[in-house]
Chain A
Amino acid sequence: MKMKIKAIAVNTFKESARNKMFYLLVFFGIFFALSSKLISFLTLGDAMKVLKDTGLAAINFFCILIAIFTGINLIYKEIEKKTLFNILSKPVSRDQFIIGKFLGLALTMLTALAAMAVIFFLFVLANGGGFDLKIILYFFMLFLELLVIVAISLFFSSFTTPILSFIFTVSLYLIGHIMWTFNEFKMILRNPFWKYLTQGLYYLLPNLDKFNIKNEVVLNTALNPWTIFFSVLYALAYILALLAVTILIFRKRDFQ
């Protein structure tokens, strides 16, 4: 079983790694991260802070793009091009296929993020910045967020077209970063129906702000280890739940 999942995961990684779009996005991620030096010249205040702030934002943006673009196409393309038939006609369960795909995408994201992170670290050191453990923690939290996004895009890709998957995934990404507003709404709303609906959505939709520690890293403020710990648990639980639902949908699908 492990061998089959590993084979599908490695193959998924190869697919991304041999895609020119992947390299282009990684290149742009690095390019914009390094161009933060230029922005730090043009702004007043702590140059290193600006450099870190804009550099990390660039890496974040391009990693999210890679996660969404690779995730939304993955399963749909397998069905459209019928490569899936070749796999599922062999002794491979649909569960193994989904898990393999997810792990392959996770490996892709890890590689992209690691490439950008290493170059950014060297860049910070070259500009007089010191080795900062918090930046590693930032990249770890970003990786968790990427895994959640990959799981979301994989979920939509299992039953809808890439365009709709893109719209749904981007919408959830944007909503996921303003989840605090749901709590505010809950306080304001008086009608019990809307109140419970808002509360339900608050727990159902991904709260991606839990993985955002950029302010703590850039401003060098203290991080609560328990917050990190619960964010990790939250990511794991959310990914497992999404994969379970994706597998349930996929198990029922007819492949015409």
Chain B
Amino acid sequence: MKALEIKGLKKTFRSNFLLKKYHILKGINLSVEKGEIYGFLGPNGAGKTTTIKCVLGLLFADHGEILIDGQPAASMASRRRIGYLPENPFFYDYLSARELLFFSASLFNLAADEVRDRVAALIHQVGLSGHQDLKLRKFSKGMIQRLGLAQALIHNPDFLILDEPFSGLDPIGRKDLRTLILSLREQGKTIFFSSHILQDMEMMVDRVGIILNGSMRRDGKLSELISRSTQYYEIICSHIAEKELAKIQTNFACRDGQYSLTLPSDSDINQVVESIIHNNGRIVAVNPVKMTLEDIFFNEMQPHRPATTGPHRPATTGDSR
């Protein structure tokens, strides 16, 4: 059974005055396996948060079916299984971190005595020790984000929905959050998170879905999406005269005294390497350059980007995988 299954989800909003229809979701289909980290990727306004709100029952879908562990997402049983971190969370700022966690626990029918130890452990886990009695109005954005994650975990859910969890975090906070999310997967939890920050997503997710203008464009295992598409080969060399190099290969770039040659396939690699050595050059590296998540994302974005923006190409040096 799948942790989350969305079939044919459609959602339309109407403008306030003219009642003009805006099709926000145009038939979303996606599924999340148990125990995996699923990255829901899309630019701002693509429909990520709207999809999540439909899953949580904050918005009513016009059409489609949403199942959590085989149960309708709107049921109370389903919501008991979910831990949710909203995008740019805002909590009652007159409460302290500890009070908010006890309040969140009570909404799951968990009494204060039952969760006292868990509240203390979660505060420590998200790095808020020493701030538990501080009123939230004095919290920074990063601290609020950490607390948001703690409240999402208060009832020890087996499915986490995190909407833009990395926004507002500094590099240390992002690294801590990545470590925490990966440790939650180790504990067998399923994690569905939306983001438009590609690097974070590429480091963590098992599967990725790309949403654009309310439609799913790609959905699959990250390893398959990336390995399916080795783009070109890159040879990095030095100690060779540019004139000599131009005779071997015209497509190269120079950076910090090193040259980067781009070959479209592996058939010419041996010949090019031998020629460089023959001309007293040194081979620094030979890299197969695969498609990154960023490339896949920009390729999908291509028809929707302004005409002035050129096609995205990976850097010829220093960005190889």
Contact = CB atoms under 8 A, between A and B. Distances in A.
A86 B91 contact: yes
Nearest to A18: B94
Interface stretch (B54-62, B123-131, B232-240): B54-62
Interface string A4-32: 10111001001100110000000000000
Contact of A91 (B88, B108, B111, B151): B108
Contacts of B82: 89
Contact of A4 (B50, B86, B90, B107): B107
A93 B80 CA distance: 12
Contact of A87 (B50, B59, B76, B107): B107
Given A86-B89, A86-B104, 5 more contacts: A11-B92, A86-B151, A89-B84, A255-B53, A256-B50
A128 B90 CA distance: 53
A88 B58 contact: yes
A7 B59 contact: no
B108 A90 contact: yes
Which residue among B59, B104, B107 has the maximum number of chain A CB atoms within 10 Å of its CB? B107
A90 B107 contact: yes
Interface of A: 3-4, 6-8, 11, 14-15, 18-19, 81-83, 85-93, 252, 254-256
Interface of B: 13, 50, 53, 56-60, 76-77, 79-80, 82, 84, 86, 88-92, 94-95, 103-104, 106-109, 111, 151
A88 B57 contact: yes
Contacts of A3: 106, 109, 111
A89 B58 contact: yes
22 contacts: A3-B111, A4-B107, A4-B109, A6-B106, A7-B107, A8-B107, A15-B94, A18-B94, A83-B90, A83-B92, A85-B56, A85-B86, A88-B57, A89-B79, A90-B79, A90-B107, A91-B77, A91-B79, A91-B107, A93-B76, A255-B59, A256-B13
Given A3-B109, A4-B106, A85 B79 contact: no
A11 B103 contact: yes
A8 B92 CA distance: 12
Contacts of B58: 85, 88-89, 254-255
